[in-house]
Amino acid sequence: MTTVEAPETHLRENPFELAKEQLRRVAKTFQIDPNLVNVLSQCKKAVVVSTPVSMDDGAIQVFEGYRVTHNIARGPSKGGIRYHPDVTLDEVKALAMWMTWKCALVGIPFGGAKGGVICDPKKLSPLELQRMTRRYTSEIINEIGPEKDIPAPDVGTDPKVMAWIFDTYSMNVGHSVLGVVTGKPLNIGGSLGRLEATSRGALYCVREAMRKQGRKIEGTTVAVQGFGNVGSYLALFLHEQGAKVIAISDSQGGIHNANGINIPAAIAHKQETGTLAGFRDGEAITNDELVLIECDLLAPCALEQVITSDNADRVKARMIVEGANGPLTPGADEILDDRGVVVMPDILANAGGVIVSYFEWVQGLQEYFWKESEVNARLNDIMTRAFNETWNAHDQRGISMRTAAYGIAVQRVAEATMTRGLYP
């Protein structure tokens, strides 16, 4: 029996400490009661599970998994499940806290949660991945449920994994429970538009920001880091709107082409081979180089902490849209803010995913499904409203978009906590 250990991590600083620092900064600016800040600095519940799995060669491997709920003052907790070798409990806690703020900012009735398993899904066979998912689901089965905590996809998980979670939960309770998980495949109760929702929301955000600045997406030069669910659709949508996507990357490296990359061809290559490696529509660049490239818009859509106080002064983009959660550290934020770079923060920019997850949950509970145009129109309404609320606070108070977004969100959660009162 072997236990899978996390290799060297992409996390330079402890993400939960950074998330708490962000909260403290915002609480100071928005004068939030320190007693409440103490409550909101901690996660309500963190479960650590051991997930033994029979591998195809007959060996048993044990994977460590987590499910964390940060806060449920505004509704059941909601958050993705990450399969990645670098997952840590503190990373999951930070991601859970950001989910609380995200749901509050966009005004959907959820709290924040997140889950993760330390594993490399690319190295597991489909059957191993399925067994691991089903065992992990069984281990957290008392934590999740449509009125309690609702998982969704994140890095390394996809609709297929959500289908196994849905099935495992449903088999255990004896009937199909559509509302237990979102991001499901369409043929078992997924929502139209969910797959592209995070990127579509980010696109709406970029559109609104450009509108405020009297600019257009057409002709904008863009660099996108990460070419998974969020990065590839965002690159495609921007390409379709006439932007010139000059750089893209995945975990194995990137491509730069000043004349613009053929994004549909890149997506076809990635679908066929599972990687961007070997796609020859430009020169090879590293992920470190990609974030420093000369462009109008930079979209980090992979992992946390890719722009820190070490490289923020060399970022040349004029606008950043955080497709990923936590790609900028507070140190990087300060430098970019001083330099006048507009940063559309994660809890706003990538909220499209949880918004359409909310729609999927509602459709599942009602067993009544909407047209894609209806999903996208409602997403547009919510994103545009949240963007404008954030922009107005940023503009009127002279604070960064991040401080504005976090301030609005933390205030809403603090108010809900006060209204409910502290139990008992």
List of residues contacting ligand NAD (CB under 6 A)? 10, 153-156, 198, 225-231, 249-251, 287, 301-303, 323-325, 350, 353
Among 180, 110, 179, 192, which residue's Cα sits nearest to residue 366? 179
Instruction: Please tell me whether the peptide bond between 34 and the residue prior to it is cis, using omega within 30 degrees of 0.
Output: no
Q: What angle do CA 219, 225, 226 make, to 5 degrees?
A: 125
- Is there a contact between 325 and 346 (Cβ–Cβ < 8 Å)? yes
CB of 229 to ligand NAD, least distance (A): 4
Dig out the tokens for 242 from the structure: 């006439």
> Of 73 and 230, which CB lies nearer to ligand NAD in the complex structure?
230
Task: Please state, in angstroms and as integers, the Cα–Cα distance from residue 72 to each residue in 75, 79, 149, 417, following that order.
Answer: 5, 12, 9, 9
Nearer to ligand NAD, 303 or 348 (CB): 303
CA distance 343 to 328: 9
Residue nearest to ligand NAD (CB): 228
We find the least distance from the C-beta atom of residue 7 to ligand NAD, in angstroms, to be: 12
Task: Report d(CA 208, CA 216) in Å as an integer.
Answer: 10
DSSP 6: P
Rounded to whole angstroms, the Cα distance separating 181 from 162 reads 7
Closer to ligand NAD by CB, 322 or 414: give it: 322
Q: Which of 102, 114, 244, 270 is catalytic?
A: 114
CB of 322 to ligand NAD, least distance (A): 9
151/179 with CB nearer ligand NAD: 151
CA distance 228 to 309: 26
Is the Cβ–Cβ distance between 363 and 191 less than 8 Å? yes
Query: To the nearest whole angstrom, how small is the minimum distance from the Cβ of residue 83 to ligand NAD?
Result: 8
Distance of closest approach, residue 203 Cβ to ligand NAD, in angstroms: 14
Q: Hey, what are 232's tokens?
A: 């590839």
Nearer to ligand NAD, 29 or 311 (CB): 311
Residue 23, beta-bridge partner list: none
Among residues 135, 133, 137, which one has the least CA distance to residue 145?
A: 137
Integer Cα distance of 236 and 243 in angstroms:
10
Q: Shortest approach of ligand NAD to residue 266 CB, angstroms? A: 11
Handedness of CA 175, 178, 182, 184 (dihedral sign): positive
Q: Is 114 a catalytic residue?
A: yes
| CA–CA gap between residue 41 and residue 272 (Å, rounded) | 44
Decide whether 103 or 210 has the Cβ nearer to ligand NAD: 103
**Residues known to be catalytic:** 114
